[in-house]
Amino acid sequence: MTDVSTPSLDLSQSTPEITRQICDIESVSGNEGALADAIEAAVSGLPHLEVIRIGHNVVARTRLGRAERVVIAGHIDTVPLNDNLPTRWEEIDGVDYLWGRGTVDMKSGVAVQLKLAVELTDPRVDITWMWYENEEVSSELNGLGILAAARPDLFEADFAILGEPSNSQIEGGCNGTIRIEVRTFGTRAHSARSWVGANAIHAAGPVLDVLSRYEAAQVEVDSLIYREGLNAVGISGGIAGNVIPDECMVHINYRFAPDKTADQAIAHLEQLFGAWDITVVDRAEGARPGLDAPLARAFAEAVGGTPKPKYGWTDVARFSALGVPAVNYGPGDPVKAHADDERVSVQQILDCEVGLRSWLQADGEARAVGAADGAGAEAGAGADADAGTVR
């Protein structure tokens, strides 16, 4: 018997409308259950898909005996809301958008994946679709990590695509990230007799000098130029307004190009800040672009455009660590991810759908379907915007 409390998804609708449906099912990290239930219900019972549920992670895969397999994945959680649900259609300077939390990061990409998972019954490669929880929070909760630990066989693939927002263009690999705490020490004293103490905050000045003089590198990796960054992202020290502080901490984030490992990145930080006390508090490996794999080249040809680097860290690094080349490809401007005015271009959702279709099935059929969906979606978006309805 179906649980009437479980929201339902109509995957026969256009991808912009499916985006709206899944965005309006709130799924801030840790609260993905209702959306995972809806996704599982929507893709279960289809003869061409085997569906696997582990926690709030849903996997659906074809088993057609193709020579190659591709994983196409997207996370279903979002950062917390800030009065940006329910979604709404809006037009800005003649461009149609869907506004609301999750529209960019990354439910529009998930909507495209769900639409194609249902409709592509005979793709040219076997496909493993993954929709997973807790990407926006600590690494140990990440749904991909949970799936990899429970079912490593699900990650046996020749190529992977992650639907992170990339303006519906390919972004290869990702930078790695290291966070360290640099501490300086002094001697606590009454501020009225400061000369008998030593101010730890003042001693942090040279640390800030290193950061202000640092020139971040631009590094070419497999024909893509990655921009690095080294920045203080926090500073703390002092216990009271009349006490000379005996300890200060500068929190530093290093975004490093995927030409180096995390260990090499840490060694670089130790060269820069070795005169002080250093603690590594977070590390994540980057991922090389993955564009030299045969399937990646074919995908790039089908999608068109010029691949770009991904500056932020994404879960492509998880696939890369497992030996699976991976790229980012999804609708939405990354600048709008997590923003209070988060919104995605309707056209980018349609472009992403056409791009994936054109690679996974015959080009002519893909473009015909995409054009038809586009016309319907744009008309629907306009009608909904005028009526002010939410469905």
Residue (of 151, 238, 166, 172) closest to 202 by Cα position: 238
CA–CA distance, 92 with 70 (Å, rounded to integer): 36
Residue 143, number of CB atoms within 10 A of its CB: 25
**164 and 113 Cβ atoms separated by less than 8 Å:** no
Select which of 17, 24, 40, 77 is catalytic.
Answer: 77
**Catalytic annotation present for 282:** no
Residues 66, 124: Cα–Cα separation, whole Å: 7
Q: Is 197:188 a contact under the CB 8 Å cutoff?
A: yes
Is 135 assigned a catalytic role?
yes
What are the residues facing 235 on neighbouring strands? 250
From the list 17, 40, 135, 158, the catalytic residue is 135
Give the end-to-end CA distance of the chain in Å, rounded to a whole number.
Answer: 24
Instruction: Report residue 98 CA to chain centroid gap.
Output: 19
Catalytic residue set: 77, 135
